[in-house]
Amino acid sequence: LSPDCSFTCHYRCRALVRLDCSGPPGVSDEDDGSEQALEKDTNVDEPSEWEKAELDQAQVEQRIKEYNSQINSNLFMSLNKDGSYTGFIKVQLKLVRPVSVPATKRVPSLQGGRPGPRAQGVKRRTSFYLPKGTVKHLHILSHTRASEVIDALLRKFTVVDNPRKFALFERSEKDEQVYLRKLADDEQPLRLRLLAGPSEKVLSFVLKENETGEVNWDAFTLPELHNFLRILQREEEEHVRRLRHRYARCRQKMQEAL
């Protein structure tokens, strides 16, 4: 437990953690702070009018031609014979909390020598933070849903956490403000990409934690729930300690005034 930032970690992980707690509390990285401040300014829940537009076959074909003519890479969209289309979307992963990936430890044979037929791996988990600014390109279909994009991203990084812990957001910039909207599970990201065009300022996709008003506790494992309880208990104890300290100082000031 650090006295400056109240950071808490497992005792086995203490040697692996590097923190600089010398600065005053509340000071964060400038890039993160500016980005978060922008994103907190505005948050739209409803899709805009152009996102609600319905395109017929001829309009889809025309949009795909316009889209391909505007990009400088080989990430083209292609129209299929059945009327669907395929293309690429870029998703930025901005996860605050660590993710869990499988870790297999080999069990040695009890008889020594070569492992017997019953020797198997013990399934374990290890958690780590994804590198800052991680970006992944996905080749998807026009009818691929947002929930399927989340599943594909988790498979790419072998993340074993429940997909319901994450959400896909659309991000846009307008008038020096950042707008974020969480996509519904059945929304089609490639269709949004086609309607918006290739500009990342007009539309980009971000994978973040599913921050909803209601927490889906069933999505967490028992060890995670126990850790949450311990964290809440420590936060409560720290809050009570600060309150008592503040009231003790007020009482002292009053006695000095008397």
133-166 confidence digits (pLDDT tens): 899 999 999 999 999 999 999 999 999 888 989 9
- Same domain flag for 43 and 57: yes
Cα–Cα distance measured from residue 151 to residue 37, given in angstroms and rounded to the nearest whole number = 29
Residues 178 and 206 in one domain: yes
Give yes or no: residues 44 and 144 share one domain. yes
Could you give the CA distance from residue 198 to residue 200 in angstroms, rounded to a whole number?
6
Q: Are residues 104 and 122 in contact, defined by beta-carbon separation less than 8 angstroms?
A: yes
Give a yes or no: residue 27 inside a domain. no
Which of 25-29, 68-72, 176-180 has the highest average model confidence (pLDDT)? Answer: 68-72
Q: The domain containing residue 222 runs over which residues?
A: 218-252
Residue closest to 220 by CA, chosen among 136, 138, 164: 164
DSSP conformation letters of 15-74: GG------SPTT---HHHHHHHHHHHH----S--TGGG----HHHHHHHHHHHHHH-SSS
Q: What is the DSSP string of 200-214?
A: TTT-EEEEEE---SS
| Pairwise pLDDT comparison (105 vs 75), residue with the higher score | 75
47 and 93 fall within a common domain = yes
**What's the pLDDT at 27?**
38
pLDDT at 111 (0 to 100): 45
Average pLDDT value over all residues in the chain: 79
**Are residues 193 and 242 part of one domain?**
no
Answer yes or no: is pLDDT of 132 > 90: no
Distance CA 37, CA 31 (A): 10
Residues 56 and 129 placed together within one structural domain of the fold: yes
Give residue 87's identity as a one-letter amino acid code: G
- Would you say 209 and 165 are in contact if contact means Cβ atoms under 8 Å apart? yes
Number of domains making up the chain = 2
The predicted model gives 11-31 an average pLDDT of: 51
pLDDT given for residue 123 in this prediction: 59
In a shared domain, residues 129 and 79 = yes
pLDDT category at 98 given cuts 50, 70, 90 is confident
Residue 109: its pLDDT value, please? Answer: 44
In this structure, what token pair is assigned to residue 56?
């017929």
pTM of the model: 0.60
Is residue 63 in some structural domain?
Answer: yes
| 93 lies in the same domain as 141 | yes
